[in-house]
Structure 1
Amino acid sequence: MALSKEYNEKLADEKEGLTYRDPIGELIREHEKKGGFDNLQGRGEPLSKEYLQNDTFDTLLKRNGFVPSWVRLQREIREELEKVLNQQLYKKASEHRIKKEISKINKKIRRYNQLCPTPGLQRCLIEIDSIQGQYENWR
């Protein structure tokens, strides 16, 4: 509460009110002045080669097991497509049932195509006549 009051007073003191304010940056600088960062692990040591060579954000996400939703959906589609292919090859399901499963998979492919980051990663819808060839494209 006191911080917002201080911030509002500083803002009111500005002559034109158009100056860029960075309240988060101000909080960080204030914390630094008070010594809040003095006892951090690794302070004063050089950054590792891994840190300097890689995208830190990507590394952090991977280390913590984050998987983008479009990648999770891609894996899910691949697994479901494999099941349908096995049903077709070993005649474990009727053609009607296989068409129904393909329809569900195609719905997920449409969603996948909306989520994936570049058009080059988008995939075609599955057709019953060429499931095996299309499955190879998903591997």
Structure 2
Amino acid sequence: MIQESMARGDFRNLSGADKPLNKFEYNPYADPMTHNLNRILFDNGYQPPWVVTQRDIRETIAEIRNELLEERARLGDPLAPKEQSKWEQLCESAEGDLVKLNKTVDNYNLIVPMLNMQMVHFSLSREIDRAVKGAHQHRLDQQREREKRSERGGRKRKKDPTQ
């Protein structure tokens, strides 16, 4: 039946007709059937659980860091007692989030196929230090930007002949 269809020319209009097959990487240590199966799974959007877990960990820590940084930048320095209380509440919340995240890191480390891809636990004190330093740098950058704008505004006024 296939031979008859080929003789009639039913397969000539296919996109890959009369072209060589796409070459794929050859791994002499991998079974060709396993390689083809993995390629098919990858081409159809499948991701191994450890890849999905790794992405989730990175997204979660980015959210925690961003929340700490934004709140610390908003509160400013030095902290008044009311602001100190808010900051401590946020740090306690972040600590709970980090405990959950570190459990996810433990599970990830059990399923990741390569030892060098394992992750270490996230530390609350390191994340707080990062947020404090980042907020300080953010305030310095804002101050420099304001100074630049005021200098540009001052120069424009001097050039104005009506004054």
Secondary structure at the aligned position of 1:123 is classed as coil
Question: What secondary structure sits across from 1:75 in the alignment?
Answer: helix
Find the residue that maps to 1:114 and give its secondary structure: helix
1:120 to 2:116 alignment:
yes
- Point out the structure with max Rg over C-alpha: 2
Of the three residues 20, 23, 28, the one matched with 1:50 is 23
Instruction: Give the structure 2 partner of residue 66 of structure 1.
Output: 46
Higher helix residue share: 2
Relative to the length of structure 1, the TM-score reads 0.56
Moved more, 92-101 or 50-59: 50-59
1:91 counterpart SS class: helix
Q: SS state of the match for residue 47, structure 2?
A: coil
Identify the residue that residue 125 of structure 2 maps to in structure 1: 129
- Paired with 1:75 and 1:96, the residues of 2 have a C-alpha distance of 24
Q: CA RMSD in A?
A: 3.0
Distance 1:129 1:52, change over 3 A: closer
Amino acid at match of 2:49: S
User: Which 4+ runs in 1 deviate beyond 4 A?
Assistant: 51-54
Q: How far does residue 52 in structure 1 lie from its aligned partner after superposition?
A: 6.6
Match of 2:66 among 55, 71, 86: 86
**Is 1:107 paired with 2:103?**
yes
State the one-letter code of the partner of 1:70.
Answer: W
**Structure with the larger RCO, 1 or 2 (CA within 8 Å, 6+ apart):** 2
Q: 1:11-60, CA deviations, whole angstroms, 9 ceiling, x for partnerless residues?
A: xxxxxxxxxxxxxxxxxxxxxxxx9x878x89xx8972425747323321
Identity fraction in percent: 22
Provide the secondary structure at the position in 2 that maps to 1:126. Answer: coil
1:59 and 1:115 mapped to 2: Cα distance?
A: 21
Residue ranges of structure 1 left out of the alignment (5+ in a row): 1-34, 133-139
Q: Which consecutive residues of structure 2, in runs of 5 or more, have no partner in the other structure?
A: 6-10, 28-34, 73-88, 131-163
TM-score, length of structure 2 as denominator length: 0.49
Deviation digits for residues 91-117 of structure 1 (CA, Å, limit 9, x no counterpart): 276110000000110010001001100
